[in-house]
Amino acid sequence: MGKIAIIGYHEVPTQINPERTRWDIAEEVIIGAVKNAGIDKDDVQGFINVAPQAQPDLISQTAFGLLPEHFGFKNVKDNVICNAGGASTTNCVRMAEQWITSGMCEVVLVPHITVQSDIPAEDLITFFAKAPMHQEWEFPFGMTFNGAMALITQRYMHETNSTEEEVASITHALRDWGARDPYSLFHNKPKSTEDVMGARMISTPLKSVECNMLADGGGCLVIASEEYAKKHCKNPVWKLGHGSDFLGGTPIVREDIFWREGYRKSCGEALAQANLSVEDIDIHEIYGAYPFTQASYLEANGICEPGEGARYHAAGHTKLGGKTPCTTIGDATGRGHTGSGVSMAFYCQVARQLRGEAGENQVEGAEKVMMVTSGGSGMNTLATIWGK
């Protein structure tokens, strides 16, 4: 049992659907999550919103309290927005924990809404080229988000003697999960390793399907205190541990370029807090957005030998039925990239897996899940552990 639990969640499928407005998604996920928790809406005492990248209007609206007002929440004590890029949801959950354990709230809502497909493509490219890249020292040299991650991948292959095929097999594994997931943009669209290898080259060695496709989505979590969860909820998903490590804002000056040290420190801290060892974890959910992160995580946590991460995926160990099910949501490359909301999608998936609601991707008997999220161009690794 932890100090807080996810007692309700709701998510809309990741899509490219500019017809679907931000408020339409907000309505579905907020009402859906409250109903899923089975609680009275006026038990909600706090709103901690995930900041939607590239959407300044929505950022202002959520920061300044339009959501709790629109939905008529009567007993809300405060409303804030939290932005740590793709790691925002983890920070929202941690802030919810602090609001709850300090006695300020019993129940906190964490919503996220993103619609990127109604933003002109050129604007989106410019936003995502500039936002995570250093404008003075990276951007003028043609560095893109994909390019920076490609540079790390090239170096990874060089140092570990991993082949382009072995790296491509990671995306095959992720798309394998995504293909069975009705919430994925790539539902029923698996990609074999050969398909990945044959896709259009973006930035060597990364092909189009190894990079992220921007999409629309949204989700909402209901977080509650231990006391409230025990009293009001049949199937809470308990938070058992949390660890964090900051790697640095700019890829060129980062010492831990493969993020291994970040994974080692944050996951180690979370495991110690949960009083668990890595062997106790049934599912590893890794939100790194690029394939090398799936390999680095395994190496950092001693799940495979150093340098063997890509080959571990190529051997099929991380797929459904494998000995180490990893990233059952398919990461951003198997799911579609909903801005800062990919981490929200990961939390919904953790709840699904632990409640036995993950459908064709259900890992049988899953009781402990470790999840990591990262923000910006990989500025941090934040690990949390969840159990039922």
Partner 1 sequence: MSDMKRPLPAISPESKPFWDAVQQDKLLVQHCNSCDTNIFYPRRICPECWSKDLGWVEAKGTGTIYSITTTYLGTTSEFTKELPIHVAYIDLDEGIRMASNVVGVGAESAKIGDRVEVEFVKANGDFKLPLFHLIEE
CA 316, 282, 261, 211 dihedral sign is positive
CA distance 195 to 294: 19
Residue 252 binds partner 1, judged by CB under 8 A = yes
Q: Which stretch binds partner 1 (CB under 8 A): 34-42, 142-150, 259-267, 348-356?
A: 142-150
CB of 123 to partner 1, least distance (A): 10
Binders in 148-187 for partner 1, by CB under 8 A:
150-152, 154-155, 158
CB of 201 to partner 1, least distance (A): 5
Q: Which of 28, 138, 166, 181 binds partner 1 (CB under 8 A)?
A: 138
CB of 83 to partner 1, least distance (A): 21
Which x/- pattern over 199-218 shows residues binding partner 1 (rule: CB under 8 A)? -xxxxxxx-x--x-------
Rounded to whole angstroms, what are the CA distances from 225 to 36, 142, 344?
Answer: 17, 48, 20
Task: Return the H-helix or E-strand segment holding 147.
Answer: helix 145-160
Q: Which of 163, 250, 273, 362 binds partner 1 (CB under 8 A)?
A: 250
- Other CB atoms within 10 Å distance of the CB of residue 308: 18
Q: Which is nearer to partner 1, 204 or 275 (CB)?
A: 204
CB of 1 to partner 1, least distance (A): 43
Rounded to whole angstroms, what are the CA distances from 90 to 84, 183, 242, 289, 379?
Answer: 9, 20, 9, 16, 14
CB of 252 to partner 1, least distance (A): 5
Judged by phi (left if over 0) then psi (alpha if -120 to 50, else beta), residue 289 lies in left
Residue 253 binds partner 1, judged by CB under 8 A = yes
What are the strands of the beta sheet with 368-373, ordered from one edge? 78-82, 46-50, 107-114, 216-225, 4-15, 237-246, 380-387, 368-373, 283-286
At position 125, the amino acid (one-letter code) is: I
At position 66, the amino acid (one-letter code) is: L
Q: Which is nearer to partner 1, 135 or 188 (CB)?
A: 135
Query: Total number of residues binding partner 1 (CB under 8 A)?
Result: 36
CB of 337 to partner 1, least distance (A): 13
What residues line the site for partner 1 (CB under 8 A)?
Answer: 122, 125-126, 129-130, 134-144, 146-147, 150-152, 154-155, 158, 200-206, 208, 211, 250, 252-253
